[in-house]
Structure 1
Amino acid sequence: MDDETANAPEDAGQAHDVRKFFGSRAHDWDARFPDDGPAYEAGVAAMGLRAGDRVLDAGCGTGRALPALRAAVGAGGTVLGADLTPEMLAAAVRAGRARLAPLVLADVQRLPLSDGALDAVFAAGLLSHLADPEATLTECARVVRPGGRLALFHPVGRAALAARKGRRLTPDDVRAEPHLRPLLTRCGWNLVDYVDEDARYLAMAVRQGA
């Protein structure tokens, strides 16, 4: 997965549909969105990562967040990329991003990581593709230590993205703050910052239990 959802199928949360949709587009995905780099850098910077931290890019797609994540945690930190679509990971390899982080073919609802293994999770556009957001956010909480962070990011806000696709915002959008806050709470997170503007969507949460 990656940050854009333009014209994704309505049932894109289903694993086979996600693979089909993104697999057919992986070869030129980066070329479609060439100007998103600064937004990714700003989103990662807002996480407040420190040298030596351990962070996962969940639904990493072609790995566009990996350079910023690696720069944030330094050579002594750990960066992992996980995605459901083999073609997206192959595109990340072709772009040279595998040198920044191990890339894992995995469903973020069932991560091959131990409890509390990470300091943070970064997820670009992930919620839009999930059949079960609660299960996935709970899994992210499982692998992050108490006090660790979750960043749910998109390089444009919900309204701007809907306009780009010729759609309207729906009142049941899981990304909307009134829905997202209680969802995160149920999943082991506390929402601490929420920005939804044309230039960026960023919901920041802290793992409960600190």
Structure 2
Amino acid sequence: MADDHTHVQDFFSTRAADWDSRFPDDGPAYAAAVGELGLRPGGAVLDAGCGTGRALPALRAAVGPGGTVIGADVTHAMLQAALRAGREASGALLLADAARLPLRAGVLDAVFAAGLISHLPHPARGLSELARVVRPGGRLALFHPIGRAALAARHGRALSDDDLRAEPRLTPLLAEAGWRLDAYTDEDSRFLALAVRTG
């Protein structure tokens, strides 16, 4: 499994140091997406593929000082950047593969995942693992601070229905992994798919 992540680690390791400065205006979009997770004070939430921990302050604000916030990422350099930014004050940072989390089943109320799904070597397996650690009725937010069309244009690609985040492809993928798609937004300013843990 480690080999599956080599390209992901290489990609993000070389970009970790200046990641936040490349996207300086995304903070409000992250906070708005976190707001739609419906977290309550005292709740427990994971930021899966947390990168530099940009969502952690908003997640901490949502669950309050008595809640649990964990940021997990497979790339050491991104977690180091999170530490340099002081984001460990908002949540515990964990070097971990989102598809093999060192967490007990059903311990979380929600998972926030920004840009994660396209970096999972095995998306169905990764989404199933996120479902494993969330209680029934808990929520998942798959987020990106720009929509699919804008992201494709940024990378010089055509928008494709084969994209994992295309609603017709994402809905059955989530269902197979133990989630029910509850809301879907894909506009230039953001992508947000909200799902509920079934069972």
Instruction: Give the TM-score range, shorter chain.
Output: over 0.9
Pick the aligned partner of 1:165 from 129, 141, 155.
155
In the alignment, which residue of structure 1 is the partner of 2:43? 53
What CA distance in whole angstroms lies between the structure 1 residues aligned with 2:44 and 2:140?
12
In the superposition, the TM-score normalised over structure 1's length comes to 0.92
RMSD: 0.9
**Aligned runs of 1:65-144 on 2, under 5 Å?**
65-144=55-134
Cα deviation for residue 170 of structure 1 reads: 2.0
Instruction: Render the CA deviation track for 1:71-96: whole Å, top value 9, x for unaligned.
Output: 00000100000000000000000000
Partner AA of 1:23 in structure 2: S
What CA distance in whole angstroms lies between the structure 2 residues aligned with 1:173 and 1:180?
9
Cα deviation for residue 171 of structure 1 reads: 2.3
Partner AA of 2:43 in structure 1: D
Instruction: Render the CA deviation track for 1:158-192: whole Å, top value 9, x for unaligned.
Output: 00111112111122111000010011111100000
Partner AA of 1:135 in structure 2: R
Instruction: Render the CA deviation track for 1:23-67: whole Å, top value 9, x for unaligned.
Output: 011111100000000100110001111101100000000000001
Instruction: Render the CA deviation track for 1:6-39: whole Å, top value 9, x for unaligned.
Output: xxxxxxx930011111001111110000000010
SS at match of 2:153: helix
Partner AA of 2:61 in structure 1: A
In the alignment, which residue of structure 2 is the partner of 1:62? 52
Q: Which has the higher contact order (CA 8 A, sep 6+)?
A: 1
* Runs of 4 or more consecutive aligned structure 1 residues displaced over 3 Å after TM superposition: none
In the alignment, which residue of structure 1 is the partner of 2:26? 36
SS at match of 2:17: helix
Cα deviation for residue 123 of structure 1 reads: 0.1
Structure 1 residue runs of 5 or longer lacking an equivalent are: 1-12
Instruction: Render the CA deviation track for 1:117-138: whole Å, top value 9, x for unaligned.
Output: 1000000000111111000000
SS at match of 2:18: helix
In the superposition, the TM-score normalised over structure 2's length comes to 0.97
Structure 2 residue runs of 5 or longer lacking an equivalent are: none
1:181 equivalent to 2:171? Answer yes
What CA distance in whole angstroms lies between the structure 2 residues aligned with 1:176 and 1:14?
23
Identity value in percent: 68
What CA distance in whole angstroms lies between the structure 1 residues aligned with 2:158 and 2:52?
28
What CA distance in whole angstroms lies between the structure 1 residues aligned with 2:40 and 2:107?
16
1:22 equivalent to 2:35? Answer no
SS at match of 1:57: strand
Pick the aligned partner of 1:152 from 136, 142, 145.
142
In the alignment, which residue of structure 2 is the partner of 1:192? 182
What CA distance in whole angstroms lies between the structure 2 residues aligned with 1:170 and 1:185?
21
Partner AA of 2:195 in structure 1: A
Q: Conserved in 1, the CA contact under 8 Å of 2:161 and 2:169?
A: no
